[in-house]
A = this chain, B = another copy of it.
Amino acid sequence: MNRFAFSTFLTSNTDLDQELIDGLVGQCTRREVTRGAYLLREGETCEHSFFVEKGLLKQFAIDHQGKEHILQFAPENWIVSDRASAYFHQPSEYYIQALEDTQVMLVDEAFILQLARNNASFLEFNHRLLHNHIRHLQQRILQLQSATASERYQHFVKIYPDLLLRIPQVLIASYLGITPESLSRVRRDLAEQNRTILS
């Protein structure tokens, strides 16, 4: 377990001054949650972005029939939040739950906005995060609208390469918006294709 994962992440992935990073990380709260625990529930206002230092989170919604729909997974070095809920102080439609025992840094959303107002380089960093989030959501929509089950699975493997062995098949199928039976068929077909290529 790396106690300084968030700090290291910021140093490696941003142009922020070390002093600013230390100030930001110092303002964050570290929390350890056990598998199954919730960091956000539907109806609550989201007040934090969650940076995963160790473990795995799942962000999902539950429809009127009680069926779960997964927006995203967040393994190590991912940030997950409902930034719209946080910004507009509106009840979230999402749950964020730990799929494994997880260590997160809680980044206060109000502090992010304040820092963006007062610090030019942090403003750029936050702009980048927001536009990256928009890009991800657009890709998710395109996937749901137009990709075949096989294309969706291959996209999943690309963005979450290390999750295949950490997440039950039924959750992967839910994320992809296909049935577990379709997912089994896709995996069988891809394995068959690989065998053909290698033989």
B-binding residues in A (CB < 8 A): 61, 63, 67, 69, 71, 82-84, 87-88, 93, 113, 116-117, 120, 123, 127-128, 130-135, 137-138, 140-142, 144-147, 177
Contact = CB atoms under 8 A, between A and B. Distances in A.
Contact of A67 (B61, B82, B116, B146): B146
A93 B144 contact: no
A163 to B, nearest CB: 19
Q: Which A-B residue pairs are the 3 nearest by beta carbons? A: A84-B135, A137-B137, A63-B146
Given A123-B123, A137-B134, A177 B145 contact: yes
Given A88-B135, A141-B141, 15 more contacts: A67-B146, A83-B131, A83-B134, A84-B131, A84-B138, A87-B131, A88-B131, A93-B138, A113-B127, A116-B123, A117-B120, A123-B123, A130-B131, A130-B134, A140-B141
B63 A138 contact: no
A69 B145 contact: yes
Contacts of A117: 120, 123
Nearest to A86: B131
A46 to B, nearest CB: 11
A123 B82 CA distance: 20
Given A146-B61, A146-B69, A133 B134 contact: yes
